[in-house]
Structure 1
Amino acid sequence: MTVSKRRSLLASATLAALTVLAACVSAHDHHRHGPTARHYHHHHRQVGGVRYTLTGEDVFYGRLDVTASTRHGDGSGNGTSSLKELCDPGVEQEAGYYRVTGTRDLNMFYWFFESRSNPATDPVILWMTGGPGCSDATALFAENGPCLLDKGRAFPRLNEYGWNEQASIIYIDQPCGVGYSFGDVSDEDKNEKGVARHVGGFLLDFFKQHPHLKERPFYIFGESYGGHYVPSVAAAVMDELNLKGAAIGNGLTVPSIQFAYYPELAYTYAKKALGKPVISYPVYLLQKAGWPQCHEMIEKCQNDTSTCAEAQKICEVMMMAPYTMSGMNPYDIRLKCEKEPLCYDFTNIENFMNNATVKSILGVPDEVEWSDCNNTVNA
């Protein structure tokens, strides 16, 4: 079997496995590096002023603003060469902003890559990174994206196992204030209702402006706090789009259930998986003893949001800090935590995303500074 065939089969198997999982998931839940500096003129293609109502929610207005595209004659001034020199030159791609105007000015950045296999028939995926408040660029360049920015590299390399091997994929920085997205941030951008309205509106407009994709099987996938994002967005658009499934990886869904098993992960499971626990037995007992107070505060937070900050603090001290102090990676207990707070070093991605030429090619305003996570949104 050829190497290319093995890669294609691996990508197909990965997507097939996630599709099976999707069927089981409810659809209701400084120093710069980069390319040589050049000057690009942008002629944005704006569409809309489109009015949307999502599953009975308030009406709002949005429009898709394509700031970079590899397709000729679409109104973007970038041509084929400039966008493709950033990542995966073998596929058609598009980047831009979804502008929500009205009482507030919101600008949500997206980057779309067509499938490497058969974009005319392959499914379309929306990827949602969690946090909350973390940029999709971390997934694009460090997880399942078309390209990888390995540690120490200044420029991306092709990811032969990227999900766009078998599917077209949309990455979006949401909510407002995350990654390249910017605007008048409010409390609405810190809850699932706001995310559902804005991302749902983006999806409706995106498929309206790309009618050749509208009948493709559509999936919404996410990780971590995507356990809240994915069901909310899926519920908002499931009657309007050809949504076939939703899937969540390592999702935060119900803390009042999940947090109870942190001691078991750090002690019992680690002992089985690694041959030794990552915390001592006395610390394990302290975690177990601290769970009732953490659980009580989580329940209070559900009914009184003024107690949520205190609940977070108590649960972090009682349930999360003991594992963090072990120095191990909570996402992979076999590894040491490389760099706090995420345990992965995204410095090279940050340098790339804040490179002036990269931002110019993508149509990102000069004053927008990219970071892997927005702590204000996370709070």
Structure 2
Amino acid sequence: MRLCNQLVSAGLALSSFSFASPVTNKEAPKDKRSFVERDGNNVTVFEHAATGAKLEFVTNSGICETTLGVNQYSGYLSVGTNMNMWFWFFEARTNPTTAPLSTWFNGGPGCSSMIGLFQENGPCHFVNGASEPSLNPYSFNEVANMLYVDQPIGTGFSYGTDDVTSTVTAAPYVWTFLQAFYAQFPQYENRNFGIFTESYGGHYGPEFADYFESQNAAIAKGTVTGEKIDLIALGINNGWYDPTLQYKAYIDFSYNNTYKAIITAAQHTTFTNTYNSKCVPALNKCISSGSNANCESADNTCYNDIEGPLSETASEGGAAAYDFDVYDIREPSNDPYPPETYSTYLLQPSVTSAIGAKATYTECPDAPYEKFASTGDDSRSFLSQLSTVIQSGIQVVVWAGDADWICNWFGGLAAANAVTYAGSSAFNAAPLEPYTVNGTEGGTFKTVDNFSFLRVFGAGHEVPYYQPAVALQVFRQTMGQEALSST
């Protein structure tokens, strides 16, 4: 979910962690594992010597995943002093000892990955607003061992001190988390690994993947101590990749989508002129200077002149001819969809106790978002990182529900066409072809080499909620290192 800095290098960001120095004697630092009882739960405490991180988690809470024999773990990773990052891990329902491992990150910035777990692709979901969850037959753990992470600190169930101010400064914390996770669960080392994300994940996904690859190279050189992350797949649905392209897409999509025109032809012309005269120069100043102040100013300028007026309803004096939900233009703004049943469920003391949560659940708190806003992170493009990841040979899919406005498919396609890799020319020239699931058309797509784009029909911002069969097929193919193909 998009509620909608580059200046710190990866090396500097890592300075907040204390990695173990080479040991010259026989007494290397050792990991420690203990067990405590807390709120009636048996809690495993694992201290990772290499990073100083600590994992505390509950095993098989009985919440959400109730498939017989499928294990789950939920709890916290401490990535620094008073920095407690929430995770929830589910084994694959089939062949967990050989299935790949994938992470899921929701966007925001500052929105919980429990959105994805309960509303989109997790082992359970709330059907028609039910008060209790039921098993989701289209869960991504049908294919892979799934790890849902609330980051940065302060998001969802995570709590404590939040030092993350940008996408770039978020990446080392996530890498550290995975290092400690591998140490506690060594059976998942050397598994094929995927990153799936959405919305602000158009920033997170490319940067996290690029950072993991750079750490792998440093590990191979011996300059960093750690476990290689065998990244083979990156999937981003309805992502926010490049503001210059996607602010323009707000205008074009508002006028020319397949559901309903939100603005008139005359308004389209007016907004386009404003975009060119105000938004683009502000973004160019951000790009050329890279300064937090200029990027924050660009964010404010483009929101105030483009995104804000377009997304306001007619009754509020905005430019929109219709009242609409920015996450699904088919719905009114006062009736956002899908329903928020899951968040009420996660506030129940019996549930939070069972899963080992120590904080009150907050879906999209303001504090993490404001830290990103202060560095103008929203106004920074991550197409360069996305291009680098594709160039490395990792299987990448960029997909989008075509009823979403906030990160609409016009902008997603424009970003995909702007990627640079060996197949760029062929990709740009390729038409969109029907994408089918068991003979039923679910969208249109194109693929060249290891890069695919997919428009999903009849889906809002959270694609797996609206089109679960399409989403699971996309996930299965991408995690299988296959280009998208119809079935």
CA distance in 1, matches of 2:280, 2:235: 27
Q: Kindly indicate whether structure 1 or structure 2 has the higher relative contact order, using CA contacts under 8 Å at least 6 residues apart.
A: 1
Identify which range, 105-114 or 189-198, moves more after superposition: 189-198
Identify which range, 295-304 or 89-98, moves more after superposition: 295-304
CA distance in 1, matches of 2:165, 2:43: 29
Alignment equivalent of 1:304, drawn from 258, 281, 291: 291
**Contact kept? 1:180, 1:364, Cα under 8 Å:** yes
CA distance in 2, matches of 1:210, 1:112: 11
Alignment equivalent of 1:375, drawn from 366, 376, 389: 366
In the other structure, the counterpart of 1:143 is: 120
CA distance in 1, matches of 2:66, 2:284: 46
* Cα drift, residue 40 of structure 1: 4.2
In the other structure, the counterpart of 1:336 is: 332
**Contact kept? 1:149, 1:157, Cα under 8 Å:** yes
Question: Once superposed, what is the RMSD of the aligned Cα atoms?
Answer: 2.0
| Structure 1 residues 114-263: aligned runs within 5 Å | 114-150=91-127, 152-186=129-163, 189-238=164-213, 239=216, 240-263=228-251
Supply the AA of the counterpart residue of 2:303. E
In the other structure, the counterpart of 1:295 is: 280
Q: Is 2:43 the counterpart of 1:92? A: no
TM-score between the two structures when normalised by the length of structure 2? 0.60
CA distance in 2, matches of 1:163, 1:267: 35
CA 1:313–1:151 in 2, change beyond 3 Å: closer, same or farther?
A: farther
3-state secondary structure, aligned to 1:107: strand
CA distance in 2, matches of 1:92, 1:43: 15
In the other structure, the counterpart of 1:44 is: 43
Structure 2 alignment gaps of length 5 or more: 1-37, 217-227, 314-321, 371-487
CA distance in 1, matches of 2:127, 2:205: 28
CA 1:345–1:161 in 2, change beyond 3 Å: closer, same or farther?
A: closer
* Cα drift, residue 345 of structure 1: 5.6
Q: Is 2:103 the counterpart of 1:110? A: no
Identify which range, 163-172 or 42-51, moves more after superposition: 42-51
Q: Percent identity?
A: 30
CA distance in 1, matches of 2:254, 2:44: 51
Q: Deviations over 1:245-285 (max 9, x none)?
A: 222111111112221121111112x2xx23x4122223222
* Cα drift, residue 50 of structure 1: 3.1
CA distance in 2, matches of 1:149, 1:308: 39
**Contact kept? 1:151, 1:345, Cα under 8 Å:** no
3-state secondary structure, aligned to 1:125: strand
3-state secondary structure, aligned to 2:41: coil
CA 1:151–1:313 in 2, change beyond 3 Å: closer, same or farther?
A: farther
3-state secondary structure, aligned to 1:44: strand
3-state secondary structure, aligned to 2:50: strand
In the other structure, the counterpart of 1:26 is: none
TM-score between the two structures when normalised by the length of structure 1? 0.76
* Cα drift, residue 152 of structure 1: 3.1
Supply the AA of the counterpart residue of 1:265. F
Count residues with an aligned counterpart.
307
